[in-house]
Amino acid sequence: MMYRLLLLSMFVSIFVKSQNIVGVQTNYTTALLSDFDAFQIDKQANVYHLESPTYPRKLKKITPNGDYDTNFGVNGVLTSSLSNTFNDYRADYLVTDSNIFFIKNNFVEKFNSSGNLDTSFGNNGILSLQIDKLAGYNGNFIFFNNGNIIKKFDKISGIVDPTFQIPLANKFIITDQNIIYTTSGSTVKKYDISTGTLDTTFGIQGVYTDTRSGEFIVDNGTSNLYFYFTSSGSNGINRFFSNGQLDSTFSVPQMELNLAIQQDGINGVSTDSAGRVLFFGGDLISRIGLIFRLLNNGTIDNTFNAGTFYYRKSDGFYLREVRLVDDNTYIGTYRTRLGLSSSKYGNVKYVRTSSSLGIKEVNNTTVLIYPNPVKQYVNIELKNNEKIVNLQVVSMAGTSQVIDVKNIQNNKVNLDFLPIGNYILNITTNKGTYTQKILKK
């Protein structure tokens, strides 16, 4: 033991610093429902959710600070008159910048953003219209499915544009830059938002198909397309501009991406005010939630969470749709698996905070790291019943390697793969984080 302590005093430089930690905000109001389409999030990150199984259909609003908005509707509840029987309580709805629409049995009901019925619309707030499902909105137009066709109507007059028709696809996206994309796996199409015709300047006559197995996701804020793919057992992400051209400046390190994502899926992407790109998703079967952040050129951002570029936790929150409140606050909806054939849907708020309280100085009363310098194996001995949950090695050049904790056997970590040089060892446990400089010889 004295030999180990001598090694520590001779060769180890200690770094104590503040790190950013991502976690779930516990004092945020949440709901857990059985309906797939129960939740929606507006651009201000207000969360709307239906009550189930109540009738007539009722909608509530949760503000970004986590409180129910009691000024919404009547005493905090918007009540639709279109669904009024217990045996048939489902009703589709759409939240826009200034209105809320409900549909049921080829009728459309319109409310203002405060949750009050707009009696100037149709016949006392209700319009007869052949409609299957609400698809999205842009300006004064509401887009909807009618059979296998997407059409649009004027939200003021309720008049349908007879010339606008887009074939139905797996996903229908309207970006903040007034661009329409439809995606089906590895194929994406771009349409003119005014006419509904293919934008022939995009891809090949308005269509781009990637030969790899994957899926397109769209950043609504920038209109950039991201193609998440798996090739030869490895994960990858490409970025395309809204004109369909590959962004050659965006390159994601494959090794780090594989370690972070593993078998998870990606459902959403957003860009923050500094141009950093956040991805959201997870693994439904394993009940894992995933968030990771890259710099605008695809480089991993190890300042994001506890010295790593990702947050991956078995919390049950398989993220579906996420809005950025700010660069460090994210509100989303999720799906959680309760059994082989049972799922529920909810809302969650993540916050990223800067705190030195969880960063512990390495000392001989909390953790022993030896030998140092290290040739092959380094021993990490923890006290106080601590367990390693994340281990990362960072070079002096800033490149990082995340080590799977499953490969730590008997407190030993194999660092034989590292070239000779100085490194920072980031150890995250269930009680805190330790950061220490090591020398690989």
DSSP collapsed to 3 states, 331-368: EEEEEEECCCCCEEEEEEEEEEEEECCCEECCCCCCEE
Residue 380 lies in a domain: yes
Q: Is residue 434 part of a domain?
A: yes
Q: What band does 254 get if pLDDT is binned at 50, 70 and 90?
A: confident
Q: How confident is the model at residue 86 (pLDDT cuts 50, 70, 90)?
A: very low
Residue 161 lies inside a defined structural domain of this protein: no
Q: What is the pLDDT of residues 40-68, one digit of tens each?
A: 999 999 999 988 666 678 999 999 999 99
Please name the residues in contact with 123: beta carbons below 8 A apart, sequence gap of 6 or more: none
Residue 135 confidence (pLDDT): 93
Structure tokens at 39: 């939740």
Q: Is a pLDDT exceeding 90 seen at residue 407?
A: no
For 284-306, write each residue's pLDDT tens digit.
888 889 999 999 999 999 999 88
Q: What is the pLDDT of residue 379?
A: 87
| Residue 119 maps to a domain | no
Distance CA 18, CA 393 (A): 18
**pLDDT the model gives residue 5:** 39
Provide the CATH number for the domain around residue 365: 2.60.40.3080
What string of H, E and C letters represents the secondary structure of 202-217? Answer: CCECCEEECCCEEEEE
Q: Name which of 85-99, 183-197, 254-268, 398-412 the model is least confident about.
A: 85-99
The mean pLDDT of 192-201, rounded to a whole number, is: 95
d(CA 28, CA 331): 10
Residue 144 lies in a domain: no
pLDDT exceeds cutoff 70 at 408: yes
What is residue 6's predicted lDDT score, i.e. its pLDDT? Answer: 39
User: DSSP 3-state assignment of 62?
Assistant: strand
Tell me, what's the pLDDT at 396? 60
Which residue range is the domain that position 418 belongs to?
2-17+358-440
Residue 406 — pLDDT band, cuts 50, 70, 90? Answer: confident
Share of the chain above pLDDT 90, in %: 54
Residue 166 lies in a domain: no
Q: What is the pLDDT of residue 430?
A: 75
Among candidate residues 340, 282, 346, the one with its CA nearest the CA of residue 311: 282
pLDDT at position 397, please? 55
Whether the bond between 53 and the residue before it is cis, its omega within 30 degrees of 0, is: yes
Q: What is the DSSP string of 252-316?
A: --HHHHHHHHTT-EEEEEEE-TTS-EEEEEEETTTTEEEEEEE-TTS-B-TTSBTTBSEEEE-SS
Q: CB neighbours (10 Å) of residue 212?
A: 13
- Say if residues 347 and 293 touch (Cβ distance below 8 Å): no
Report the number of distinct structural domains present in the chain. Answer: 1
Residue 7 pLDDT level (bands cut at 50, 70, 90): very low
* pLDDT at 73 > cutoff 80: yes
Burial 383-394 (b: 16+ CB within 10 A, else e): eeebebebbbbb
Residue range 139-168: mean pLDDT, rounded: 95
Residue with the bigger pLDDT between 156 and 427: it is: 156
To the nearest 5 percent, what fractions of the chain are helix, strand and coil? 5, 50, 45
Report the pLDDT value the prediction gives residue 1, as an integer from 0 to 100: 44
CA distance readout (Å), 220 to 43, 71, 105, 257, 268: 10, 29, 31, 23, 9
- Residue 411 inside a domain? The answer is yes
Confidence category of residue 436, pLDDT binned at 50, 70, 90: confident
- What are phi and psi for residue 354, nearest 5 degrees? -100, 120
pLDDT surpassing 80 at residue 399: no
Residue 423 domain-assigned (yes or no): yes
pLDDT above 90 for 273 = yes
